[in-house]
Structure 1
Amino acid sequence: AGTVLAQAADGWSDKAGGTSGALWGVILTAIAGSLGDTGRPEAAAVAAGVAAGAKGVTDYGKAEIGDKTLVDALLPLTETLTARIAAGDDFVDAWQVAAASAAAAAEATADLLPRMGRARTHGMNSVGTPDPGAISLALIATSVGALLADRIERKAHA
């Protein structure tokens, strides 16, 4: 898992371009480092990797909640996932709840005046439109949750 995510991080950073490519590289590299390549990834390791990715992103880009960036969805994803795993929730359920938290937070960026990131240059014109980076992060997290649930369901019926 670690090697696959590390390669995905390199590919995303190289091909996506812009700040979002670099930020996704940071996130995936951190998750890869947390998971490693041996055994089945444990929920706590995934949560720790996502948290390390979020810290890497905020350290790198300096964005905070309310700046109208990907961070507005990433931090709720991280905080919810970490809390749900610590509470003993099933990993797939915890991920899906965390993804829903990220999606709600991403939608809420529509009300924000951008202070950082690509949207900053649009100023007041961006109010009313959610941040694309936050939306894309939430969509990816939601898709990962759906894939995890589908795998579990298929195993149950096999």
Structure 2
Amino acid sequence: MSDDREHAPDDSGPARAASGGAPWAWPADVRALLAAILVAAGVALRAAGSGEAPAGGGPPAGSIALRVDPNTAPRSVLEALPHVGPSLAGRIVEQRAIRPFLSAEDLRRVRGIGPATLARILPYLRIDRTPEGPVAGAGRAEPLRLARVRPDRP
């Protein structure tokens, strides 16, 4: 008959002796290492938690504040905006070809951009109204006047 003590776990190790007999307790150096890991994880989580969007809306704190002009941005850049996929980016490009966006609110004329979507992408938008830009002079053109031209008679 075999002795059951041969297969029993060793309870006489340093962990049991250091902990006053509790088999689950770790030595002091392991506990210190675990405490340091937990503190580092807490600091990392707190830093990540501060990346939430501020109350006024806008890009998360600590992120790159890239603002995109929907009149000139390539389709691939528009696709990278929150809640804007390939089809919505395509519709933005189609609408700006018809008529440039004079304000962010003009994006509402794009099918698929309602108040909620506009609010989500608004912090990432800027509308350039420079004289060289695509919207310079929009809406200020004089009406075209046609005149009948008569040939001069000698």
Q: Which TM-score tier does this pair reach, normalised by the shorter chain?
A: under 0.3
Q: Rg bigger for which structure?
A: 2
TM-score, normalised to structure 2, is 0.26
Question: Whose helix fraction is larger, Structure 1's or Structure 2's?
Answer: 1
Considering Cα pairs closer than 8 Å and 6+ residues apart, tell me whether 1 or 2 has the greater RCO. Answer: 1
TM-score, normalised to structure 1, is 0.26
